[in-house]
Amino acid sequence: MKLSSQSSIFSVALSISMASAGVAIASEKTACSEASGVIAVVVERMPDFQASGIKPRMAVTRIGGAAGVALAYAEDDDWSDAETAPLVALRDTREPNENGQTISKEEAPGVIYGHAEELVEELRRKCPNVEIADLTSVAPGG
């Protein structure tokens, strides 16, 4: 009986400790760091549009997914609609337009790059201390 109660106490202590660690890890992520991470994903995935054998749709999906996560953080941090506009645009790039058509492989790099440039400008204004990947290194046609 005594072993069982000690085991229960240990389990509760372990659970509290793990929950505290999770809170600490979660609190390190911010809208600024997540939005900066979107730029890193754009830099990483932009070459996929020129590579043979790689489906650009996956690059658009990964960029959009990262933007969606960053958008959630930004909304939690009360960013304005204007501040979140580049994240919304990047998230929605993979969605069909009003005519039901999705972005073409040829259009995707320019559209994504343009939205990413807007996000970089917003990050420089709103998050001056966050590190931002060099977007110019993957400029379309550059």
Q: How many helices (H) and strands (E) does the chain have?
A: 5, 0
At residue 103, does pLDDT exceed 60?
yes
pLDDT at 31 over 80: yes
Give the residue with greater pLDDT, 50 vs 124. Answer: 124
**Three-class SS of residue 127?**
coil
In order, the DSSP letters of 79-137 are --HHHHHHHHHHHHTTS--TTSPPPPTTTHHHHHHHHHHHHHHHHHHH-TTS----GGG
**If pLDDT is split at 50, 70 and 90, which confidence band does 94 have?**
confident
- Per-residue pLDDT of 122-132, as tens digits, reads 999 999 999 99
Determine if the pTM surpasses 0.75.
yes
**Share above pLDDT 90 across residues of the chain, in percent, rounded to a whole number:** 56
